[in-house]
Amino acid sequence: MDASQTVILRGQDAAHPDGQYGSIAKWFHWITVGLIAIALPTGFVIKYITDASDGATKMVFYAIHESTGVTILACAVARLIWRAMNPPPAYPDHLPAVLRAAAAGTHHGLYALLIIQPLLGFFATNAWGFPLQGQTAYLGFIDFPKFMDTSEGLAKILSLLHTIGGYLFVVLLIAHVGAAIFHHAIRKDGTLMRML
């Protein structure tokens, strides 16, 4: 493709040679990053917290983790709706097909987990008999209705799937961050700048 046929990418300028996402998409991305930075650590450490008396500390961690998870779910759904109405900028011509496929696979996996993980956690807590009420109410004061009976067998399955999803999320997150660093530091293209 010669210079006269080069496609101008949306948001392309000197600071964003490969185009850029819109400001609302960027907000969704970075808010999600902040929420994940809360949800992942609290989720991984909860089982190691032991209280000498009433379990109050552990319940605080559950409340933070669960409220953050529900917020991530709401943010992910809103983000996908926004994305459907405002498609992201096209990949630049210089990006090889294998890197396009890797980026698409990682993004689809992360989007899927942003929805599946909170749902698994929400269903698991209900199956254990601990809906988002009282000490673990959403944001500390919004009680969600209990919609299922306690089922230890189902709770164990859902909790296992939620744990597996958590580790898978970490793998995809490392791949995503690693790819951003690879593009910026090694390929020296404008991929990272698309979201800045």
Give me the pLDDT at residue 190, please: 80
Q: What is the CATH classification number for the domain harbouring 61?
A: 1.20.950.20
Query: Model-level pTM?
Result: 0.87
Q: Is the dihedral of CA 72, 76, 132, 49 positive or negative?
A: negative
Residue 29: which of 67, 91, 86 has the closest Cα? Answer: 86
| Beta-carbon count within 10 A of 6 CB | 10
Q: Is 168 helix (H, G, I), strand (E, B) or coil?
A: helix
- Determine the structural domain holding residue 66 and report its residue range: 19-195
Residue 84 included in any domain: yes
Structurally, how many domains does the chain consist of? 1
Give me the pLDDT at residue 119, please: 96
> Please, what's the largest Cα pairwise distance for the chain?
73
What are the per-10-residue average pLDDT scores of the chain (196 residues)? 54 75 92 96 89 74 94 97 90 87 94 97 92 87 88 95 96 95 87 84
Give me the pLDDT at residue 3, please: 43
Residue 142 included in any domain: yes
